[in-house]
Amino acid sequence: MPSRRDLIRMTPEELQTFLYERHTMNVATIGPSGHPHVHAMWYGFVEGKPAFWTFGKSQKIVNLRRDPKVTALVEDGETYNELRGAELFGTGRIVEDKDEIVAIGAAVAERYTGPVTDQGLAFIEAQAGKRLGVVIEVERVVSWDHRKLGGTY
């Protein structure tokens, strides 16, 4: 008999569909005291990998330069029977190339605001001078979808 953990785990296809939905990703880096530094981020995908951009002087970047470990949580659901999510464990690769930063910014904008216009691209390019990108190199995933329990616990 499969474990309850096995029953609620998302298949690779379900996981991909879920991650490509328009959710917010809670990203945890390791702060200077060793405590998690958690921040909510909009994210996009670069070559199939989750990515976000942030100000170059942000605490996230400072933390990743010191220790590139990152954990990200994407979740959804209001009641226990609806809960689903994925915890992504990996390494945050800092992107400093302006063209790559612009691509990340455009991927994020497109996911949350729709197609990027010429005016939107000009804004992204202007912002890219102050920002860095982060691509999450995912090493392990834990996922769950309580809807698979059929209303039972």
The pLDDT score that the predictor gives to residue 121 is 96
Quote the number of domains for the chain: 1
Task: Categorize the per-residue pLDDT at 4 as very low, low, confident or very high, splitting at 50, 70 and 90.
Answer: confident
pLDDT per residue as tens digits for the range 10-37: 999 999 999 999 999 999 999 999 999 9
Q: Are 89 and 67 in contact (CB under 8 A)?
A: no
Secondary structure (DSSP) of 91-141: EEEEE--HHHHHHHHHHHHHHHH-SPPHHHHHHHHHHHTTEEEEEEEEEEE
Indicate the angle between helix axes 118-128 and 98-113, nearest 10 degrees: 130
pTM for this entry? 0.93
pLDDT per residue as tens digits for the range 95-110: 999 999 999 999 999 9
Task: Categorize the per-residue pLDDT at 5 as very low, low, confident or very high, splitting at 50, 70 and 90.
Answer: confident
What CATH number is associated with residue 59?
2.30.110.10
pLDDT at 152 over 80: no
What's the domain range around 9? 4-149
Nearest-angstrom CA–CA distance, 14 and 145:
9
